[in-house]
Amino acid sequence: MLFVGVFFLVACNNDAEEVPVDPGLVEGTGRMLIKFDNIAGDQDLVLDNKSYTNSSDEDLTISKFNYFVSNFRLIREDGKIYTIPQDSSYFRIVEADPKSQTIALNRLPKGNYTGIEYIIGVDSLRSVSGIEKRGGALDPSGDMAGDGMYWAWTSGYIFVKLEGVSSKSGSSNGKFYYHIGFYGGFENKDKTINNIKNIKLDFAGDKAVVRGDSVPEVRLTADVLKVFNGPNPVSIAKNPSIMFDFTLSSGVANNYKSMFGFGEIKQNSLAK
């Protein structure tokens, strides 16, 4: 089997450098909700009983769509950036679990926020930290066990998991599997590709107002078809399974980097 052993530390390139908290912003008492609305093109994503078509003109029905988002930063109207404390900044979005799709960012400085940054995946440092630093959404023995979002043999997380069936799949059961991970490895030993991807979205001129009596809910969309239809088109007929192939998984990661978009902001008032 490929890549036996444990991958350590730092991502070998670009996409997910840890950024210190902006000294100009300190922890406050505000709150923001982020809702991840999974879609398929211009339709809502429905698991198991709805067919979609990718850019290779292949039919597909999706049975599983899970992904990690982490390392959140919020951009305020004055240009200052607030970095969510890292221990509170890891979330696993599961299409089959509606509760997982709305996350809370707490203890925010008050102000008007105009954008958001985060990564798809789990950063290299946290990936190799001791299990005591990987609780909650990152606990390999917790709820994640049913989702299978962790490769125990590499001590690595699966950043995006997409599964389903297609009449074009060459597999015996007609299924396709795309499990994409890999965070770069450790220096020049056990190097891998880095499929961690940075996401930066502005709120299209809208503002998420955080103050004592106001909790904004920001809706972000995630278009699952972009996994297939990005700059590296994925054909189910040619590749019904992509997991450990560096070149193919990198292509899928470059596709899903573009799957997120800004939807809308609902401003929830707490005033009595």
Per-residue model confidence (pLDDT) at position 27: 85
DSSP-H helix ranges across 34-92 = none
Pairing relationship of beta strands 260-269 and 150-151 according to DSSP bridges: unpaired
pTM, rounded to two decimals: 0.88
Across the range 216-234, mean pLDDT stands at 96
pLDDT tens per residue, range 53-74:
999 999 999 999 999 999 999 9
Pull the structure tokens for residue 148: 């299978």
Query: Among all chains, which residue has been given the structure tokens 């985060």?
Result: 118
Whole-angstrom Cα distance, residue 216 to residue 42? 25
Q: Domains of the chain: which residue ranges?
A: 30-269
Residue 129 is classified by DSSP as S
d(CA 269, CA 272) in angstroms, rounded, equals: 8
Question: pLDDT tens across 127-166, in order?
Answer: 777 777 788 888 877 555 567 898 876 668 999 999 999 9
At residue 251, what are phi and psi to the nearest 5 degrees? -65, -40
pLDDT at 144: 54
Measured CA to CA in angstroms, residue 213 lies from 34, 41, 268 at distances of: 17, 36, 8
Q: Label residue 255 by pLDDT band (50, 70, 90).
A: very high
